Amino acid sequence: MKRSYPALDMFRLIAAALVVAIHTSPLSGLTEAGDFWLTRVLARIAVPFFLMVSGYFLARGNWNGTNRFLQKTLFLYAASVILYLPVNFYNGNISGLDWVRRLLLDGTLYHLWYFPAAMLGVLIARTLARAGLPAALSVAGVLYLIGLGGDSWYGICTRIPVINIFYNGIFSVCTYTRNGLFYAPIFLLLGAAGFRLRRGLAAAGGVLALLAMSAEALFLRAQNVQRHDSMYLFLPLLMVCLFSLLLDANAGERKSFRSFSLLIYILHPMVILLVRGGAKAVGLQTLLIENSLVHYLAVLAGSCGLAYVLCFLRPARPGAKARAWRELDLSALRHNVHVLQSSLPAGCALMGVVKADAYGHGAVTVARTLWRSGVRAFAVACLTEGIALRKAGIRGEILILGYTPPEEAALLLRWRLSQMVADAAHGQSLADTGFPLRIHLGLDTGMHRLGLPADDYAAISALYQRKNLKVVGIFSHLCVADSLAESDIAYTEAQLTRFYETVAWLRAQGFPTGRVHIQASYGVLNLPEQQSCDYARVGIALYGVRSSDAPVRRPLDLQPVLSLRARVTSVRTLAAGECAGYDRAFQAGRATRIAAVSIGYADGLPRSLPQMGGYVLLRGKKCPLIGRLCMDQALIDVTGAPEAETGDIVTLIGCDGPEMLRAEALAAQCGTITNELLSRLGGRLPVVAR
């Protein structure tokens, strides 16, 4: 097995130790120049590294995690501000507007500038990233250059009077240019870019960049032009090389290092005070304070100790990948949006159908990704699903495809949801509530499930007379568009004809139709383009799977979005004749190596799966499911993968090495369609986006 080496998380510890060095000057008692190089040059990689890691992970999640990042950073900042209030009091610099200015821009104590800078930086970086990375990096690069002129290159740049006035203006607002505007965006975006250079190139480039940056720093110091020493011309280049090397070596993660390094960052100034106070109290100033190296080590050890205790006290939460999870490939989702949208005629937009927790994919994650890909209309099954999307910040059109009782009409208004009209009585009862409601007229063209009969013009015009109902859309649903049988095609044609006849009649009457829509996934995959449509309500195809393996007329290059994974929890060997599982349903014909897996029918898998020939992927090999599927667990035969061990990842849908388990095949095995299989995947399975 490949040895995991969580380089990114490990480097956080090094970066934290470097930050402590910046604030304790470990070499100052030995060599002034050496200390300058260590704390004002080398250690300046620490904060950019933290920013790059944040940018890297935020971008990998398509910046969806931005709000959570901001909330968490705000919380940490607030806690740190409170923690250091006594120090502010002691220093006497807490009064008045200046403290508020520092709270918002510079941080209330010297190291706390990082938090407001990270928050502002992420907002700027995300906004810039929408324009594409090259453009974003260019703008952030210009901002960095401006910041540089107010930092280590200050004395040189301000020799020009206009520039001097410019920086005077900047510094009347903030103390340094090393902040969320000039400094953070470039590193967040370089992290987001995640450049991967060849290892040799990155190593050589890194060494050269460090040499160049050292020369730059020593030159500027000799010129005595530095106003501050956080920013250098060669720093971004050095960071790109370093980060590339780390990404290259990175495998796995060590989450505990994250909180540990963060706590060292937050707490070390407090420890500096404690060490100094303690040294004075016990008369050890010569050793603990005056010896700069010992002082540094004491502060570092104290910070580590304190951080360790706090980490230990923090209640731990189970990891998302501890048991079983739904893994989303968001780039596949974006790809599918693009492919589907391009397959539609101009003027026809994609309505993302995200009912049933987005067919088991996680409605909020999916809807946010769709929104970022330009989708502005969504369909859900019921009121609760619509409200959940609004609460998650989804704007645009949200259509409820199912019946909503008139008693709930106020909620439709409150959350600005559009309601389909199930029949004439439903329409009347919604109108009777008096609420101004946005509705899509459902027309029954042959499915006979919901909607007003398409030829019941009297009922339709009656609804148009009700002034409080605003018809913003008209639609119908096709019930055999997935079939290429001749009679089914004829049925679909008849449905389409009825639909367009009614639409034409409405237009002739001068009734506004709002948005017209009839195609669902198979309407897109099997029908010619519908010219007069404003939406295609696409569900299953969005997720990159078809309902079944039945052929379609217009196969599109769609990629599956979801993988379903679980873990091996125990491995054992059965002797020939021994049995396993409920009902003794499996009996070993020969010595058999079996494993328990942490997923079961309560997670949405069909209980019949093992009996239907179901299998899983483990270490790139097919392993049959055996015995009865349990509520929370499954048994598999791992005789063909003898290295299997506890903790191994088991794939139930998706790729593992050369093998791929398709949802269509699994659904067919169990006598159902992927729509059912996927939408049943339970809420107990965390959604992990990658």
Least Cβ distance, residue 513 to ligand PLP (angstroms): 17
**Cα distances (Å, whole numbers) of residue 313 to 71, 161, 298, 306, 310:** 22, 55, 23, 11, 5
- d(Cα 409, Cα 453) in Å, to the nearest integer? 23
Alpha-helical segments (H) within 150-195 = 154-157, 161-173, 184-193
Instruction: Give the shortest CB-521-to-ligand PLP separation in angstroms.
Output: 3
- Catalytic: which of 355, 359, 491, 522? 355
- Residue 115 makes CB contacts below 8 A (sequence gap 6+) with 73, 74, 76, 77, 80, 107
- Which range touches ligand PLP (CB under 6 A), out of 3-11, 307-315, 429-437, 539-547? 539-547
56: alpha, beta or left, given left = phi > 0 and alpha = psi -120 to 50?
alpha
Judged by beta carbon, residue 355 or residue 368, the one nearer ligand PLP is 355
Count, residues in the chain: 690
Give the x-and-dash track for 14-53 against ligand PLP (CB under 6 A). ----------------------------------------
Q: 438 near 419, Cβ under 8 Å?
A: yes
Q: Which is nearer to ligand PLP, 40 or 546 (CB)?
A: 546
Q: Which stretch, 134-142, 285-293, 514-522, 664-672, contacts ligand PLP (CB under 6 A)?
A: 514-522
- State yes or no: residue 477 binds ligand PLP (CB under 6 A): yes
Which range binds ligand PLP by CB under 6 A, 66-74, 105-113, 224-232, 535-543? 535-543
Instruction: Identify which of 560, 563, 523, 515 has the alpha carbon closest to the alpha carbon of residue 542.
Output: 560
Stretch touching ligand PLP by CB under 6 A, among 64-72, 119-127, 337-345, 516-524? 516-524
Count of residues engaged in binding ligand PLP, rule: CB under 6 A: 13
Distance CA 186, CA 172 (A): 23
Q: Quick one: which segment of 136-144, 289-297, 520-528, 565-573 binds ligand PLP (CB under 6 A)?
A: 520-528
Binding residues for ligand PLP restricted to 630-669, rule: CB under 6 A: none
CB of 532 to ligand PLP, least distance (A): 18
Q: Where are the alpha helices (DSSP H) in 224-291?
A: 235-249, 255-282, 285
Q: Could you say whether residue 441 binds ligand PLP (CB under 6 A)? A: no
Phi, psi dihedral angles at 279 (to 5 degrees): -60, -40
Q: Is 473 in the site for ligand PLP (CB under 6 A)?
A: no
Choices 54-62, 147-155, 210-218, 531-539; region in contact with ligand PLP by CB under 6 A:
531-539
Q: Is 280 a catalytic residue?
A: no
Q: Please answer whether residues 604 and 684 qualify as being in contact, where contact means their C-beta atoms are separated by less than 8 angstroms.
A: no
Q: Residue 295 interacts with ligand PLP (CB under 6 A)?
A: no
CB of 351 to ligand PLP, least distance (A): 8
Establish if 480 lies at the interface with ligand PLP (CB under 6 A): no
Is 520 a binder of ligand PLP (CB under 6 A)?
Answer: yes
C-beta of 118 vs 450, nearer to ligand PLP: 450
Give CA–CA dist 300/658, Å, rounded. 47
Helices (H) and strands (E) in the chain, counts: 26, 20
Classify burial at 672, counting beta carbons within 10 Å of its beta carbon; exposed 0-12, middle 13-18, buried 19 or more: middle
State in angstroms the smallest separation of the CB of 514 from ligand PLP: 16
Cα separation of 296 and 264, whole Å? 13
**CB-wise, 326 or 628, nearer to ligand PLP?**
326
Q: Which of 5, 90, 110, 582 is catalytic?
A: 582
> Who's near 172: CB < 8 A, 6+ residues apart?
none
Q: How far is the CB of 528 from ligand PLP (least distance, A)?
A: 17
Nearest approach, Cβ of residue 379 and ligand PLP (Å): 6
Name which position in 401, 516, 636, 685 contacts ligand PLP (CB under 6 A).
401
400: contact with ligand PLP by CB under 6 A: no
Specify the stretch interacting with ligand PLP by CB under 6 A; choose among 112-120, 156-164, 432-440, 534-542.
534-542
Would residue 582 show up in a list of annotated catalytic residues for this protein? yes
Contact call for residues 21 and 158 (beta carbons, < 8 A): no
Task: By CB under 6 A, tell whether 527 contacts ligand PLP.
Answer: no
Say how far apart CA 121 and CA 115 lie, in whole Å: 10
Is residue 521 close enough to count as binding ligand PLP by CB under 6 A?
Answer: yes
Q: Residues 130 to 159: which contact ligand PLP by CB under 6 A?
A: none
What is the C-alpha to C-alpha distance for residues 384 and 434, in angstroms, rounded to an integer? 22
Residue 239: closest CA among 199, 200, 210, 204:
210
As measured in angstroms, the least distance from the Cβ of 402 to ligand PLP is: 8
Rounded Cα gap, residues 677 and 663, in angstroms:
8
By CB under 6 A, tell whether 118 contacts ligand PLP. no
Q: Does 502 bind ligand PLP (CB under 6 A)?
A: no
Q: Toward ligand PLP, which CB reaches closer, 348 or 541?
A: 541
Residue 151 CA from chain centroid, whole number: 34
Sign of the CA dihedral with 650 first, then 192, 212, and 225 last: negative
The rounded distance, in Å, linking the Cα atoms of 259 and 265 is: 10
239 near ligand PLP, judged by CB under 6 A: no
Count the alpha carbons within 13 Å of 87 in the hemisphere toward its beta carbon.
Answer: 17
User: Smaller CB distance to ligand PLP: residue 326 or 355?
Assistant: 355
Instruction: Give the CA diameter of the chain.
Output: 97
For ligand PLP, what does the binding mask look like between residues 341 and 370, x meaning CB under 6 A? Answer: ------------x-x---------------
Residues found near ligand PLP in the complex (CB under 6 A): 353, 355, 401, 477, 520-522, 537-541, 675
As annotated, the active-site residues are 355, 582
